A = this chain, B = another copy of it.
Amino acid sequence: MTNSTIGVGLIGTGFMGKCHALAWNAVAATFGEARRPRLVHLAEADQSLADSKAREFGFAKASGDWRAVIADPEVDVVSIAAPNPFHAEMACAAFEAGKHVWCEKPMATSRDDARRMLEAQKGSGRVAALGYNYIQNPAIRQMEALIQDGVIGTVNHVRLEMDEDFMADPDAPFVYKNGAASGYGALDDFAVHPLSILWRLAGPVSSVMTDQAKPYASREGRRVETHEIATSLLRLRSGASGLLVANRAAWGRKGRIAVQVFGSAGTIAYDQERMNEFQLFTREGDERTQGFRTVLTAPAHAPYGAFVPAPGHGLGFNDLKVIEAHELLAAIDGRPARIVDFETGFAIEETVHAMARSHDERRWVDCPA
């Protein structure tokens, strides 16, 4: 293994753009990467913001035009953290230019765009990863490993809840996210996250029966077009039954992604608001001492140990992105990697579209196989 480098470009420097930048700065020191990232070129909507962010984030070049990043021959991989409507154009251009792509979720705001991205990637032979960082949590990875090892037996039922409260205030002004142009609402904004976890823990969804609701019909006199709440019955391809609910108007919930997976020999539960622990019940052992155990993440749960050698000391949200970067680098080097590629990402988004159709047609809808 040679000690080469890899050139990084970044488009967008908001919430997730900064998160990518932090990950690119941290991944080599954390994992001792064989390929150390060089922070080559960053783009923002205007040159002045780009300059200032490049300085903060440690990128060598800055442009007010994202095409400059993609055209830069020193850039090998492009982080796309621009607003969702731009993802398709940027990603397709990047693949055409022979770059690898690390794109924030969702892939696109339309199925056609997403499909176009998937095809562009397939034709390019380049690696693509979507920003489903929650699955990188050592807790989630450990839960997945335990399920695969049969520790809770055959999974027969799942429950997924994602809740935040940034849309909970009925007196808040009308914003972009209340308009139809932003998508369905909680369904695409939130549901994709628990679905990405579900995919790892229990596999794909086969059919859905969904209901969407608006807690507040209007804001500032304008009709709210999105649904802040989505509830869905699920049937998984495995036959397991399930529930998913997403709510952007859930007062008091700040970053809740609650997962319960029930099997024939035990149960696993998790809540993203306490991301450094999970709950495990197995039926074995003395009946008098059975109970859900709270497992704190630890070096025993890879790749926790790359961050802290002591157990129970806690990773943070941004650390998950560092793990994602590490996995992406592995994929680029042709090693096995734990990423959500465009194929899986597309399937997740297809599931969300099926949910929206189910709501409209008030019936069970099958998800594309």
Interface residues of A (CB under 8 A from B): 3, 15, 18-19, 21-22, 25-26, 28-30, 32-33, 36, 52, 55-58, 142, 145-146, 151-153, 156-157, 159, 161, 164, 166, 168-170, 209, 211, 213, 215-216, 229, 231-233, 235, 240-243, 245, 247, 249-256, 262-267, 272-277, 280-283, 287-296, 298, 300-301, 307-319, 362-364
Contact B252 A266 (CB under 8 A): yes
Return A217 CB to nearest CB of chain B, in Å: 10
Interface majority SS (helix, strand, loop, mixed), chain A = mixed
Chain B positions within 8 Å of A293 at CB level: 289-294
Contact B265 A251 (CB under 8 A): yes
Chain B positions within 8 Å of A300 at CB level: 287-288
Contact A289 B151 (CB under 8 A): yes
Contact B318 A251 (CB under 8 A): no
Q: Give the docked Cα–Cα distance between A214 and B243 (Å).
A: 15
Chain B positions within 8 Å of A164 at CB level: 310, 312
Q: Given the interface contacts A293-B289, A315-B317, does A233 sit within 8 Å of B252 by beta carbon?
A: no
Across the interface, name the chain B residue whose C-beta is closest to A215.
B156
Partner of A249, one of B26, B52, B215, B262: B262
Q: Quick one: copies of this chain in the complex?
A: 4
Chain B positions within 8 Å of A315 at CB level: 314, 316-318
Known: A26-B26, A307-B317. 12 other contacts (CB 8 A): A15-B308, A168-B283, A251-B263, A251-B266, A251-B281, A251-B282, A255-B311, A273-B296, A293-B293, A293-B294, A314-B317, A316-B319
Some 10 contacts from A to B, beta carbons below 8 A apart, are A19-B308, A25-B25, A25-B26, A168-B264, A168-B283, A209-B211, A213-B240, A233-B233, A251-B265, A251-B266
Contact A267 B252 (CB under 8 A): yes
Chain B positions within 8 Å of A233 at CB level: 209, 211, 231-233
Partner of A216, one of B264, B290, B309: B264
Q: Give the docked Cα–Cα distance between A21 and B21 (Å).
A: 16
Chain B positions within 8 Å of A159 at CB level: 161, 245
Partner of A146, one of B15, B211, B216, B289: B289
Q: Give the docked Cα–Cα distance between A229 and B308 (Å).
A: 24
Q: Give the docked Cα–Cα distance between A233 and B3 (Å).
A: 55
Q: Give the docked Cα–Cα distance between A309 and B209 (Å).
A: 33
Q: Give the docked Cα–Cα distance between A18 and B313 (Å).
A: 15
Chain B positions within 8 Å of A318 at CB level: 307-308, 315-316, 319
Q: Give the docked Cα–Cα distance between A283 and B216 (Å).
A: 16
Return A166 CB to nearest CB of chain B, in Å: 8
Return A283 CB to nearest CB of chain B, in Å: 6
Chain B positions within 8 Å of A232 at CB level: 233
Return A201 CB to nearest CB of chain B, in Å: 16
Partner of A298, one of B235, B254, B281: B254
Contact A267 B243 (CB under 8 A): no
Q: Give the docked Cα–Cα distance between A266 and B22 (Å).
A: 35
Q: Give the docked Cα–Cα distance between A254 and B294 (Å).
A: 12
Chain B positions within 8 Å of A157 at CB level: 213, 215, 229, 247, 249-250
Return A292 CB to nearest CB of chain B, in Å: 5
Q: Give the docked Cα–Cα distance between A71 and B318 (Å).
A: 35
